[in-house]
A and B are shown apart, each in its own frame.
Chain A
Amino acid sequence: MAALLLFVSVSKKCVKCKEAPAALVIRAGDAYCRLCFKDFFIHKFKAVLGKNRIIFPGEKVLLAVSGGPSSCSMLRQVQEGLSQKANKKLRFVPGVAFIDEGAAIGQSVEERQRTVAELQAVFQATGFPFYILPLEQVLDLPASVVATNPSPSEQPASAYKAAVHHFVETDGSNFPRPQEPKKTLLPRVQESHTLMLQQLLGSVKTLTAREELLNTLRQHLLVHTARTEGYSKLMLGDSCTRLAVKLLTSISLGRGAQLAQDTGFSDSRYGDIILVRPMRDYSAKEVAYYNHLFTVPYVVIPSVDTKTVDKASIQRLTESFVTKLQTDFPSTVSTIYRTSEKLQTACRKRSGADGCDRCLLCLCSLDTAVEAASAFQATLISDQLSGSKCLRGSAAETPRPEPGRPESPPLTAQCCSSAEGRGCGRAGSDGGCCSSAKLPETTRLKSLLCYSCALTVRDMSTVNHLPQYILSEAQRRQRRSQMREEISDFLLDDGDEGN
């Protein structure tokens, strides 16, 4: 029986071809028919890569696929783009990376294997080499991940054109061929590692901080994989909608200084690996519709905030806010997106050649060295004042730890860290608040972090569960800055550190 649909409405025509009946409304009222939509979708992907001229022909690019609709759509676009005729063909060599975060959401081993098997089938069908990375691997990363590499020399715009010209002339024969995907066995995960990871995530008290931490660890793992497997670019599948939510969330989390890097098209904080976001022009609705129409396979994997209430975390609340606003005002997401396009990072060339002026976790420039009359100083002072009350008070005044939280009362960690290491860390006595040796570590760690990462760490009951590479890099930086302080009088500096 033919599918019939009777609807009582003015049947709209596509705004592009003006002939076919419209099938989808995108942005604020533009109705497209199916074919025009498909052309529009495919064209946008190539246009965004071509306009930004950042991916050189023959370059190895790692696609970070979470299994969700946006990243799977990106995978499909790359596949299509590489298979077309010569002149408009995409010209890079892709690989796929998937991070199995089953441990973070408490999935059983069987559930994880099932999901991974589903995705493996999808990846194998593309023919690209792929890497299945259990999140537990983050515990074994080397410290080099958080040490910034010197950035590659800035290529002038003319270099891109020359490279394309060269590629077309030699017919691409000099460039690395896409590799045959090796038979990758699904990596085995040790249960002890899973437990350690769960312990780490369990030590974070708020969902907001947990999501931020997961984000950071995920990025570190992806960058490390890109480095070890020889990729120079990392493509992330964040859609316009997601980036709009991320922009507002970042502001709420105190990441205002890093907005341009967090939401822009390219992000060069890691130096040798550049993060690229080609899906940032696509709204989530466009992606969903394309995936449905052209049966793009994707696997929905629950995350830590799936099915939570709106107020469970800042990220969730912002997402709910933007989504609801978008229903009544369809230009919400695009307005936020256009604003984000205007943001740029102010490049502050500091003398920290050994990476000392970068946040330990997010690798963005530290934003905590500001003048005396700033808002940041005001928050420090108010922290100190509330902290000093706790210092004077006896242990009886510290509130009871929440039921269900075993060990150290969180507030003592608060008061020590809030004094920014000036008080408790050096007090040396064990009465009052420094009840465990762990506390000064939190304090010292915070001085290496940007404002929002410090807030994330503050929501952790202990930093000792952080992966070894973070703790050891923290120690290394602390030793260096201590050493630098000790010999500062003898250093010949370039003049910006005073006399």
Chain B
Amino acid sequence: MAASIAIHLEFGGGAELLFNGVKKHHVTLPSQSEPWDMKQLLVWIQRNLLKERPELFVQGDSVRPGILVLINDADWELMVSTGKLCLLSECVCVCVCVCV
């Protein structure tokens, strides 16, 4: 049973337009039986933070093409190999809209 974790979320490059223009969010993810991973985080964001046009942020299990996701200043793409990515407390997750 994992405790609830507090993480920092930042949206930039235009992604913040989907969140009422608010760039920085400090959120607490509720506790759940398994550790949180990115896919669950995205679902959580879509349900609780996203204000409009979900299709411009999320596509299927991942972010829409054209959005760069950095976790603690490292590219998410580097981490997506085997197994799940586990988020721990005080992680900083940044979603920057990269598409022109």
Chain A residues within CB distance 8 Å of chain B: 1-10, 12, 21-25, 31, 34, 69, 239, 241-242, 245, 284-285, 287-289, 292-293, 300, 302, 306-307, 319-320, 323-324, 326-327
- CB-nearest residue of chain B relative to A29? B77
Q: A6's contact among B66, B80, B88, by CB below 8 Å, is which?
A: B88
Check A241/B100 contact, CB under 8 A, given A34-B73, A300-B17, A307-B17: yes
Residues of B within 8 A of A285 (CB): 68, 98
Residues of A within 8 A of B72 (CB): 3, 5
Residues of B within 8 A of A5 (CB): 71-72, 74, 87-88, 91
- In the bound complex, do residue B65 and residue A327 qualify as a contact, i.e. CB atoms below 8 Å apart? yes
- In the bound complex, do residue B100 and residue A239 qualify as a contact, i.e. CB atoms below 8 Å apart? yes
Q: B66's contact among A34, A289, A292, A323, by CB below 8 Å, is which?
A: A323
- In the bound complex, do residue A323 and residue B65 qualify as a contact, i.e. CB atoms below 8 Å apart? yes
B interface size (C-beta, 8 A): 37
Q: B17's contact among A22, A239, A302, A326, by CB below 8 Å, is which?
A: A302
- In the bound complex, do residue B100 and residue A245 qualify as a contact, i.e. CB atoms below 8 Å apart? yes
Q: How far is it, in angstroms, between the C-alpha of A12 and the C-alpha of B16 when the chains are bound?
A: 31
- CB-nearest residue of chain A relative to B63? A327
Contact indicator per residue, chain B 80-91, by CB within 8 Å of chain A (1) or not (0) = 111111111111
- In the bound complex, do residue A69 and residue B81 qualify as a contact, i.e. CB atoms below 8 Å apart? no
Q: For the complex, would chain A's binding face be called helix, strand, loop or mixed by DSSP majority? A: mixed
- CB-nearest residue of chain A relative to B55? A309
Residues of B within 8 A of A289 (CB): 68, 70, 75
Q: How far is it, in angstroms, between the C-alpha of A215 and the C-alpha of B79 when the chains are bound?
A: 39
Residues of B36-87 whose CB lies within 8 A of A: 53, 56, 65-66, 68, 70-75, 77-87
Residues of B within 8 A of A241 (CB): 98-100
Check A293/B88 contact, CB under 8 A, given A307-B53, A319-B100: no
Q: How far is it, in angstroms, between the C-alpha of A34 and the C-alpha of B98 when the chains are bound?
A: 19
Residues of A within 8 A of B91 (CB): 3-5
Apart from A302-B14, A323-B65, 15 more pairs, CB < 8 Å: A5-B87, A5-B91, A6-B86, A22-B75, A31-B78, A288-B13, A289-B68, A289-B75, A300-B14, A302-B17, A306-B14, A307-B53, A323-B66, A324-B66, A326-B65
- In the bound complex, do residue A25 and residue B75 qualify as a contact, i.e. CB atoms below 8 Å apart? yes
Residues of A within 8 A of B78 (CB): 9, 12, 22-25, 31
Residues of A within 8 A of B9 (CB): none
- CB-nearest residue of chain A relative to B71? A5
Q: How far is it, in angstroms, between the C-alpha of A7 and the C-alpha of B65 when the chains are bound?
A: 22
A12 to chain B, nearest CB (A): 6
Q: How far is it, in angstroms, between the C-alpha of A285 and the C-alpha of B13 when the chains are bound?
A: 11
User: Is residue B29 contacting chain A, with contact meaning CB distance below 8 A?
Assistant: no
Residues of B within 8 A of A8 (CB): 82-86
Q: How far is it, in angstroms, between the C-alpha of A306 and the C-alpha of B94 when the chains are bound?
A: 21
- CB-nearest residue of chain B relative to A239? B100
A279 to chain B, nearest CB (A): 12
- In the bound complex, do residue B17 and residue A292 qualify as a contact, i.e. CB atoms below 8 Å apart? no
A236 to chain B, nearest CB (A): 13
Q: How far is it, in angstroms, between the C-alpha of A302 and the C-alpha of B81 when the chains are bound?
A: 35
Residues of A within 8 A of B75 (CB): 22-25, 289
A239 to chain B, nearest CB (A): 7
